[in-house]
Structure 1
Amino acid sequence: MVGGPDLSASSDASIYLVDGSERAVLIDAGTGTAFDKVRQLIKKTNVSPAKISHLILTHCHVDHSAGIPQFRKWFGLRIIAHQRCADILEKGNDRRTGAAWYGIQLPAMNIDETFQGDDYRISVGDTELVCIYTPGHSPGSISVFLDRDGVRILFGQDIHGPILTELDSNEKLWQASLKRLLSLEADILCEGHYGIFQPRSEVTRFIESFL
């Protein structure tokens, strides 16, 4: 974890860095309000900035996405998101991104690499990341998982919701997405606001608490 409410800024969702030996990838971008702190935390991991090739955006909300322009500027990386997330960001929609709540003006943003459907696989050095479509909290929400040394790690940002009509949330889809995440039987959960859960029994308990 290289960013989040207890590490960079209270307005930031958690930002995760996955090191895949030859390459590395970030998951989510925070609000950008404490970008210098995030850069310093990345530096402390000893992962070379030149290795960071992509940033996977789990959904369009401003606490996950507003830092994208700064990450692009400093790391020259490509942004990956679900097409439904990209559609919202490319219109700069302040309501559906929640930007108005944070007092942040979110400019229209282009996403470099998008996918449709349920699954999208990304090779990051020696690691394969699987992006799965998990709508509900937002129309374009995704989750990401990887398997390493027999351990399944799930990046399930905003599993807790909230489910709000002004964000175009959908409770039925959210519940279905939670059930899909349970079926992955992850050993470690990296969540967007509540931190990291392990072992598998704790991951299951946390997800089930919202069903």
Structure 2
Amino acid sequence: MAKVKEITAGVYQVGGDGLSRAEDCCVYLIDGGGESALIDAGAGRSASMIWSNIIATGIDVSSLKHIVVTHGHIDHIGGLAFLKEKLQAQVIAHSLELPAIEEGLPQLTAASWYGVTYEKVKVEQVLKGEEQRLKLGQVELICPHTPGHTPGGISPYVDITGKRVLFGQDIHGPFNQQWGSDLKEWRISMQKLLELEADILCEGHFGIYSPAAAVRKYIEGYLRQYSRK
């Protein structure tokens, strides 16, 4: 089994989609040159595998200072406690996801769906408003607020080696009122993502889409699917 997938220079997949347990979301790593960040952390039971995959990238793990959480579902946050301790990293998430990440409210984490016990984690850097930016070595990670799947979802993106890479986790849904899903908000968020004209989409569960035309086709496909709901 492959341990790591290089998506483009400085961007790797280290979890999910055959790299760790099937219950994990896709976990990504951005190497900004001197400073790195993880995007999400998987469901938890294979956090040690994700850790091994991080090592396999060859980056200096002491440079991995941030874990950016796209939203508070267990398949994205279950590995936070383990990886945060291993990396001594700061967790970054939107303020509207704190009830899930810091309080572990079961109706928000959906931990019972996976049979996982969630270990609560403190968020050191709380994002607020429509967009915030994080300096990551030689690049800038931009974190727009994209509610819909959950209230505090974010879809980070980075311009690196001449390409715009979008981490559009869970574009496909699903949607559940228990989590605070809102299809109207989601449609607005998807239009925001289309306007970014990303060259590469790193999706939350269904892999990598490129070039830009394929990214647009993927997002527009779900907009059509949910147009009447």
Determine if the TM-score, normalized by the shorter chain, exceeds 0.5: yes
Residues of 1 paired with 2:166 and 2:97: CA distance? 20
SS of residue in 2 equivalent to 1:122: strand
Count of matched residue positions in the alignment of Structure 1 and Structure 2: 211
Q: Report the Cα distance in structure 2 between the residues aligned to 1:104 and 1:35, rounded to whole angstroms.
A: 13
Instruction: Tell me how far 1:149 sits from its aligned partner.
Output: 3.0
1:71 match: 83
Q: Sequence identity of aligned pairs in percent? A: 40
Task: Return the letter of the residue paired with 1:178.
Answer: M
Decide which of 152, 156, 167 is 1:140's aligned counterpart: 152
Query: Equivalent residue for 2:45?
Result: 33
Report the counterpart of residue 19 of structure 1 in structure 2: 31
Where does structure 1 lack aligned partners over 5 or more consecutive residues?
none
Structure 1 CA distance for aligned equivalents of residues 26 and 211 of structure 2: 20
1:102-181 → structure 2 map (5 Å cutoff) = 102-181=114-193
Residue number in structure 2 paired with 1:194: 206
2:65 corresponding residue in structure 1: 53
**C-alpha separation between the residues in 1 aligned to 2:119 and 2:36?**
26
CA distance in 1, matches of 2:54, 2:189: 31
| Native 8 Å contact 1:17 1:26 kept in 2 | yes
Specify the code of the residue in structure 1 equivalent to 2:154.
I
Aligned-residue RMSD, C-alpha: 1.0
How far apart, CA to CA, are the structure 2 residues paired with 1:108 and 1:69?
Answer: 7
- Runs of 5+ consecutive residues of structure 2 not aligned to the other structure: 1-12, 224-229
Residues 13-55 of structure 1: CA deviation (Å, up to 9, x unaligned): 0000000111110000001211221112111110111110000
Q: CA deviation at 1:104?
A: 1.3
Give 1:103 shift. 1.1
State the 1:108 CA deviation.
Answer: 3.1
Q: TM-score, normalised by structure 1?
A: 0.97
8 Å Cα contact 1:94-1:105 kept in structure 2: no
Q: What secondary structure is seen at the aligned counterpart in 1 of 2:29?
A: strand
Q: Which runs of 4+ in 1 moved over 3 A?
A: none
For residues 100 and 53 of structure 2, the distance between their equivalents in structure 1, rounded to whole angstroms, comes to 30
Report the AA paired with residue 68 of structure 2.
I
Following superposition, the deviation at residue 105 of structure 1 comes to: 1.8
Question: Does residue 205 of structure 1 match 2:208?
Answer: no
Q: CA deviation at 1:72?
A: 1.4
CA distance in 2, matches of 1:168, 1:35: 27
State the Cα deviation string for residues 121-167 of structure 1 (Å, max 9, x = none): 00111010000000000111000011123311100000001111222
